[in-house]
Structure 1
Amino acid sequence: MDKYIMETNIVTKQKDEVKIKKPKNYKVVMYNDDYTTMEFVINILVNVFNKKLVEAEKIMIDVHKRGKGVAGIYSYDIAITKVSTAMSMAKEDGFPFKLTVEEA
């Protein structure tokens, strides 16, 4: 007796769900030191981080009093670019200004 194999085509409907994740945010943290001037920090906050003068002064005072403060929260690439720009300006002016990028 021959065996017959019957093939069936089963059509299934598959839903392709694409979940788009929002990119993670990263905070740029500024650290206090005994050499970088308050004026330089304010200049960085206004010109690199696009803060208004009043907000820049508040952040600078926080950094001075608490030892560190958040300059802003950005996507990773923007945070790294801003830190690089600020660190280059600090190096050019001879300041040991320190910034880091941390996951928010």
Structure 2
Amino acid sequence: MSIFTPIFSTEEDGDIAVADKVRVKKPSKYHVVLHNDDYTTMEFVIWILMHIFNRSQEEAMKIMLDVHNNGRGVCGTYSYEVAETKMNKVLSEAKKEGHPLLCTVEPE
């Protein structure tokens, strides 16, 4: 699906189509969400938030506490491709370190 929607009109002679306007649709945004589990350490979640999502230590602590207390926390909101890439980085790092951390992408 194209993000451009041209509006066409025809000239008086009838056989030439000319684009009058091009409407640009804003791309949808997606949340990257971390889900709580009983095995992944808080320190690892903070590390993920600081290194993959470029969060400060204070922001990472707040998001980690959301994950711990509410069962989930939003790490950031991005275009679909960026959100999917960040989710895959989280899952790869978690697997490498032996953590069952679940990370998903959800529409904003």
Q: How far, CA to CA, are the matches of 1:94 and 1:85 in structure 2? A: 14
Give CA-to-partner distance per residue, 1:73-101, whole Å, 9 cap, x none: 00001000001011000000000000110
**What SS does the aligned partner of 2:38 have?**
coil
Pairwise CA distance, 1:11: 3.0
Asked if 1:31 corresponds to 2:35, the answer is yes
Q: How far, CA to CA, are the matches of 2:39 and 2:54 in structure 1? A: 23
Q: TM-score, normalised by structure 1?
A: 0.86
Q: How far, CA to CA, are the matches of 1:25 and 1:47 in structure 2? A: 21
Query: Aligned residues, how many?
Result: 96
Amino acid at match of 1:79: A
Amino acid at match of 2:100: P
Segments of 5+ residues of structure 2 without an aligned counterpart are 1-11
Give CA-to-partner distance per residue, 1:44-103, whole Å, 9 cap, x none: 000000101100000000100000010000000100000101100000000000011011
Equivalent residue, structure 2, for 1:45: 49
The structure 2 residue matched to 1:75, chosen from 75, 79, 85, is 79
Amino acid at match of 1:83: M
Segments of 5+ residues of structure 1 without an aligned counterpart are 1-9
Following superposition, which runs of at least 4 residues in structure 1 exceed 2 angstroms of deviation? 10-16
TM-align CA RMSD: 1.7
Amino acid at match of 2:13: V
Task: Map 1:1-104; keep pairs closer than 5 Å.
Answer: 10-11=12-13, 16-104=20-108
Q: Relative CO higher for 1 or 2, CA cutoff 8 Å, sep ≥ 6?
A: 1
Q: TM-score, normalised by structure 2?
A: 0.83
Q: How far, CA to CA, are the matches of 2:19 and 2:88 in structure 1? A: 44
